[in-house]
Amino acid sequence: MYEFTMTIAGSPATTVESFEVDNPATGAAIASAPECTIDQLNDTMDAALGCFETWRKDQPARRAALERAASLLDAHVDELAEIITAEQGKPLSESLDEARGAVSDLRYFATLQLPEDTLQNDTEVSVRVHRRPLGPVAAIAPWNYPLAIAAAKLATACAAGCTVVVKPSPYTPLACLRFGEIVRDAFPAGAVSVISGGDRLGAMLCAHPLTRLISFTGSIETGKQIAAVAALDLKRIELELGGNDAAVVLDDVDIPRVADGLFANAFANCGQVCDAIKRVYAPERIYHELVDALADRARAARVGDGSDAHTEIGPLTNEQQRNRVTELVNDAVRVGARLVAGGRSPDRPGYFYEPTVLAGLDGHERIVTEEQFGPVLPVIAYHDIGDAIRNANDSRFGLGASVWTGDAERGATIAPQLEAGTVWVNTHQGYVTGQPSSGMKWSGIGTEGGPWGLLGFTATQAIHVVLN
Ligand code: NAD
């Protein structure tokens, strides 16, 4: 079995202790990952701080390193896609998109430079405003996009002049560890490290005295714990948290076309996407037709092992998540929701759950108010568009939202009324290069992506010089 290594101070690192990683399509162990020790964590942080002093001052070196890392990664996208599917479950084509997206992110951030503004520059005074890198960054990733999220954080940190320590989820550490192995030689020792372990390692990395910024993507619950720990040392935080994105459908849509769009954006990656569509508000007039169209697509979707080329929807990534989805669907049915498609785990090994569509909800069920993070879509009828917007906004979440309409201009007037960091019209989860992503309310603090994301890894420094 291949032995995955951590990357510490530019070198491979193993441990005596390790933990098993399962294939969610079978439930069987496929590999083990090193359990990083406290001494190794301290070595990692010392190397990150040691490298920071030169790394922060050398933008050309950082750019060259990111470009080299992108080329190295590019040569391994097929291998990484296979690892992602094996540990996370998504279909191979989606894993390949994820690996290619990671390459694009490295290339994109290589081109970014920190801005510099001149407020005054005359014979008396020169005032310039700079952005300075914060220092060693703890980059903590979840299990739904094991490579893409880690690579985006690494690329942003390096472009800003920070050094970075990446910690993947214990459910999906393998692609990230392999990523570290592949790009290790592109960076000076200590600029980029990858360590693996459980939640406790994440907590120790956040609390470590040398960590200056915590860039975290994961659940709201963990995000709150991290914010509390960061407060004790006034560390900077950048939190990308959960979502419960609403899709508001207007009465002028082409139903089959919109059903295709809603389905694709709710069920990709088995619904385990922070900004997947997680609830649909549909006008009464077309409600039943839309529900039936969504249910047809759910029944027709080919569920299976992501390594099978015919598979459209893979398993959930872990048993805990499947249990949560099961609990939320059962709760909805118990309080009166109608199961139109799916609603159970198929009788096979692995953590599968049938694509599920729920109707007849009043909007107060847990499946509507909480984040299901799985292959389940509740559809809620509305009478008045004002009510639909109010109900979409009546949430602690504020990551994404979308409006679906035959009249894009009408959609564009509704979009700003939705309380979310990104609002799409006639699509969802659409991104162009450099597009920022941020959460309102409980969905996050700070911004990822583009020049806005870069600034989050920096502090502002004004230099005011009185000329002689
Ligand atoms: P999680 O919060 O359980 O774990 C995320 C990471 O944090 C893991 O690496 C874990 O080991 C680590 N961790 C756990 N406890 C910690 C602690 N006390 N201190 C430091 N680190 C700790 O999240 P998850 O279940 O892996 O991911 C699913 C969640 O992530 C969903 O809510 C989803 O919406 C969210 N997510 C958000 C975005 C976004 O951009 N907003 C993107 C992807 C996923």
Within 8 A by CB and 6+ apart from 99, the residues are 73, 76, 77, 78, 80, 81, 84, 147
Judge whether 354 counts as a catalytic residue: no
**CA–centroid distance, residue 403 to ligand 1 (Å):** 28
Strands 458-466 and 447-448: unpaired
Smallest Cα–Cα separation from 160: which of 215, 231, 235, 203? 215
Atom of ligand 1 nearest to the CA of 168: 9
Residue numbers of the chain with a pLDDT score lower than 50? none
Q: What is the pLDDT of residue 298?
A: 98
Residue pair 29/21 in contact (Cβ under 8 Å)? The answer is yes
DSSP per-residue string spanning 24-93: TTT--EEEEEE---HHHHHHHHHHHHHHHHHHTT-HHHHHHHHHHHHHHHHTTHHHHHHHHHHHH---HH
pLDDT at res. 125: 98
Contact indicator for 448, 454 with CB cutoff of 8 Å: no
Instruction: Give bridge partners of residue 22 from the DSSP assignment.
Output: 29
Taking Cα atoms as reference points, which of 447, 404, 442 lies closest to residue 422? Answer: 447
What is the pLDDT at residue 41?
Answer: 98
- Which among 186, 150, 185, 182 has a CA at the least distance from the CA of 168? 150
The pLDDT value recorded for residue 24 is: 98
Distance from Cα 79 to the centre of ligand 1, integer Å: 25
Q: Is 274 a catalytic residue?
A: yes
How many other CB atoms are found less than 10 A from the CB of residue 15? 17
What is the pairing mode between strands 213-217 and 236-240?
parallel
Exactly one of 87, 240, 312, 365 is catalytic; name it. Answer: 240
For the Cβ of 202 lying below 6 angstroms from any atom of ligand 1, the answer is yes
Q: Which atom of ligand 1 is nearest to the CA of 171?
A: 26
What is the CA(137)–ligand 1 centre distance, in A? 16
Set 158, 274, 365, 448: catalytic member: 274
At residue 1, the pLDDT reads 76
Return the pLDDT at 468.
Answer: 85
